[in-house]
Structure 1
Amino acid sequence: MNSKDALKKSRRTAGNFSDRRAGHPRLGHRRIRKNSESGNVYAALDLGTNNCRLLVARASKNGFRIVNSFSRIVRLGEGMRKTHYLSEEAMERTLQALQICKSKLQNSNVTRSRLIATEACRSAKNGREFAKRVEELLGLELEIIDHETEAYLAVAGCASLIDPRAESCIIFDIGGGSTEIAWLEGTLGGPLADPKDNIRVWDSIPAGVVSLAEEYDGHNVTRASYEAMVESITEKLAGFAEKAKGAENAPYFHLLGTSGTVTTLGGIYLGLPKYDRRRVDGLWMTEQDMTDIINRLIQMSYEERVANPCIGTERADLVLAGCAILDAIRRTFPSRFLRIADRGLREGILMTMMREDGVWHQGA
């Protein structure tokens, strides 16, 4: 479907979600409606450099219950490292994915939503132009967030997985175009607590799996090129490492990672014939587990990585770039354990909106 077809379909199906002239608001982070029959339904959309993801949920006693979801690799930032522009092909792929998201939002009777875009739209010279195009064609209002907001939402989305005994934790989100990392100190006040007061240092590293794989050829990775990637990221981590110096010395310190890289490693570690979020989210891996799997991946050919059911064609050229970022973090902050989170920005958005609405104080 091209942009013109998307526009025609949008006009046929959008109804009150896109007709501003009729006095109806666009669907975006400012939209709030009440639905007395089913209670508040919240939606969070994360449009990144590599993925387009949507979660729709209702609040529950201990968090929220997912009622609809969508995820597709769109590679919106493909080729941006050289051109600094979103390509027409990438924008078309993304529009198709966003059209599906729009349908799910409508069918789920969403009452409050926040739709964010991160590094690709933030950095591309035509990023804001694309966001405007999305609004005009689909009636979806994308909020291009800054690095600090992205880092906070990543932390908010997976902080509940921190070991409650840990007095220090490094949380990181390896994205397609950037990597957000934060040091949290002190124990949290429970799984529903806002972690903002525990964040001591945060940073956004200007490198992700797509940009790094394009720079170092993710198809053909040797031990030498892998180590070059690790060294490159280690240098970019230096400023954060200095500010978070000694974080790894606190009791029960561990790493907590959220991204396709760490979830892929988790799936390989478990030997899954098909990726299963329920088995990977919250999984603990030891330092040796990670080292063994990464070494195996480096020894694989591109074709062998494609054949792995937890990698496939969509991640075969990206997975080792992600591992290099992970290794740079591991070597900077040595830890016996990594906990894997198959959750992140979308969950952070949902938790933040529900916390703002006071749903857990209302006995939701």
Structure 2
Amino acid sequence: MPHSPAESFPMIAALDLGSNSFHMVLARTSNGEMRILERLGEKVQLAAGIDENRLLDEAAMQRGLDCLRRFAQLVNHLPQGAVRIVGTNALREARNRATFIRLAEEILNHQVEVISGREEARLIYLGVSHTFPGAPGKRLVADIGGGSTEFIIGEGFESQLRESLQMGCVSYTQRFFRDGKITPARYAQAYTAARVELMGIEHGLRRLGWQESIGASGTIRAVGLAIKAGGYGNGEVNGEGLGWLKRKLFKLGDVEKIDIDGVKPDRRGVFPAGLAILEAIFDALELQSMTHSEGALREGVLYDLLGRHHDEDVRDRSLSFLMERYHVDTEQAARVEAKALEAFDQVAEAWNLDQDWHRELLAWAARVHEVGLDIATTTTTSTAPT
């Protein structure tokens, strides 16, 4: 669905009605910049309420509507066009979604849009590319949701391939770990089911290739933190850590016994299923590691609302905003940067500073130095005795 840019609204919001969690982000816009004011999220597990006839049960609907009533206090007064609400896999699957959507729109006073899997993938990539530092080359982005998992390969702000598979941490929990018991046999079934799903897209992903892999979901974040707690990494996901974590879950044997740093109590129930899917992704695509991005679907929806799709480095954008906010003398900052880079060029070869990012880092440091001078001057002036 096309959306006109929302830059004219001083406040905008995005709501992500996911299969596992509902999320809301509220932001203020000024001079083309966006500042996050509020982030809210609740585990609703909408997908857990879909029965064999693909009908969303009353209890799941009520959990979702109760959550939206809390969100509504922050968004139902905002004008039309300033809020975008997207529903994902659970609402795509539910045959009676119209009933839930009608009640949700009455609560929120804004339209609810059920997006396709590929549109979800596009928005996820947009959220990642705006919030994760830019790097040359292609990126593989994976997002394990409650009912589906999205894969995107892109470069800069442009996604080149977008896929959505019917596997998620909630739906796989219902299929393989419904009673909370964790056994090697059940885990193997979940893992195999995920590998079968991946067979249809492996070739296309490999054909395009990528230089770095990024995860954009709560599952991937929790796995990375758990691996870090076990001493197998620094927050990234890696093969050795996945193996250690799987063996630990087998020893525990029950989701109620999961007490691992990084795994919140409300994620324990869906954690084994999420881990099985993630291990299948690593093996199918022969990944060595995966870094987590805080930006995902809801951030992508916000940037899409603003109509911001052009290529820009999030660090450059942040520096420009700070320089404007603190009234930095841009001409002086440019002179400092130029002098610093001139000195850099004279010693770069002798000091083995041969990477592009070495020069880039110094340029940013020069600009941050000017921001710091302005802040220090402002602080000194405001605290000086009268």
* Fold shared by both chains (TM-score > 0.5): yes
Per-residue CA deviation, residues 240-286 of structure 1 (Å, 9 max, x unaligned), is 112122455x5xx23211112111113323439xxxxxxx9x94343
Is 1:295 equivalent to 2:247 in the alignment? yes
TM superposition shift of 1:288? 2.1
Work out the CA distance in 1 between the residues paired with 2:106 and 2:132.
41
Q: Which residue of 2 aligns with 1:214?
A: 174
Match of 1:66 among 32, 36, 47: 36
TM superposition shift of 1:224? 2.0
Cα distance change, pair 138–163 in 1 and its aligned pair in 2 (3 A): closer
Q: Which residue of 2 aligns with 1:341?
A: 293
Unaligned runs of 5+ in 2: 311-316, 326-386
Work out the CA distance in 2 between the residues paired with 1:243 and 1:126.
34
Q: Which residue of 2 aligns with 1:18?
A: none
Cα distance change, pair 130–58 in 1 and its aligned pair in 2 (3 A): same
Aligned partners of 2:152 and 2:163 also within 8 Å: yes
Cα distance change, pair 99–344 in 1 and its aligned pair in 2 (3 A): same
Cα distance change, pair 271–157 in 1 and its aligned pair in 2 (3 A): same
Work out the CA distance in 2 between the residues paired with 1:54 and 1:71.
6
Work out the CA distance in 1 between the residues paired with 2:134 and 2:261.
33
Q: Which residue of 2 aligns with 1:173?
A: 143
Match of 2:91 among 113, 118, 121: 121
Work out the CA distance in 2 between the residues paired with 1:57 and 1:266.
28
TM superposition shift of 1:109? 8.6
Work out the CA distance in 1 between the residues paired with 2:81 and 2:207.
44
Cα distance change, pair 111–149 in 1 and its aligned pair in 2 (3 A): closer
TM superposition shift of 1:301? 2.8
Cα distance change, pair 122–163 in 1 and its aligned pair in 2 (3 A): same
Is 1:245 equivalent to 2:197 in the alignment? no
Work out the CA distance in 2 between the residues paired with 1:338 and 1:212.
22
Aligned counterparts, 1:139-218, within 5 A: 139-160=109-130, 164-184=134-154, 186=155, 188=156, 195-196=157-158, 199-218=159-178
RMSD over equivalenced CA pairs, Å: 3.3
Structure 1 letter corresponding to 2:204: K
Worse-matched range after superposition: 119-128 or 161-170: 161-170
Task: Give the match's secondary structure for 2:41.
Answer: strand
Q: Which residue of 1 aligns with 2:187?
A: 226
Tell which structure's C-alpha radius of gyration is larger: 2
Aligned partners of 2:69 and 2:108 also within 8 Å: yes
Cα distance change, pair 283–343 in 1 and its aligned pair in 2 (3 A): farther
Worse-matched range after superposition: 282-291 or 87-96: 282-291
TM superposition shift of 1:303? 5.0
Aligned partners of 2:19 and 2:88 also within 8 Å: yes
Work out the CA distance in 1 between the residues paired with 2:182 and 2:170.
14
Q: Which residue of 1 aligns with 2:219?
A: 261
Per-residue CA deviation, residues 9-45 of structure 1 (Å, 9 max, x unaligned), is xxxxxxxxxxxxxxxxxxxx8896956xxxx212110
Task: Give the match's secondary structure for 1:245.
Answer: helix
Work out the CA distance in 2 between the residues paired with 1:201 and 1:33.
28
Structure 2 letter corresponding to 1:204: S
Match of 1:271 among 229, 245, 249: 229
Match of 2:15 among 26, 45, 53: 45
Worse-matched range after superposition: 208-217 or 165-174: 165-174
Aligned counterparts, 1:323-362, within 5 A: 323-356=275-308
Equivalent pairs, count: 311
Q: Which residue of 2 aligns with 1:89?
A: 59
Structure 2 letter corresponding to 1:298: F
TM superposition shift of 1:151? 0.7
Is 1:136 equivalent to 2:97 in the alignment? no
Aligned partners of 2:21 and 2:42 also within 8 Å: yes
Unaligned runs of 5+ in 1: 1-28, 189-194, 273-279
Aligned partners of 1:41 and 1:110 also within 8 Å: no
TM superposition shift of 1:77? 1.8
Work out the CA distance in 2 between the residues paired with 1:169 and 1:81.
36
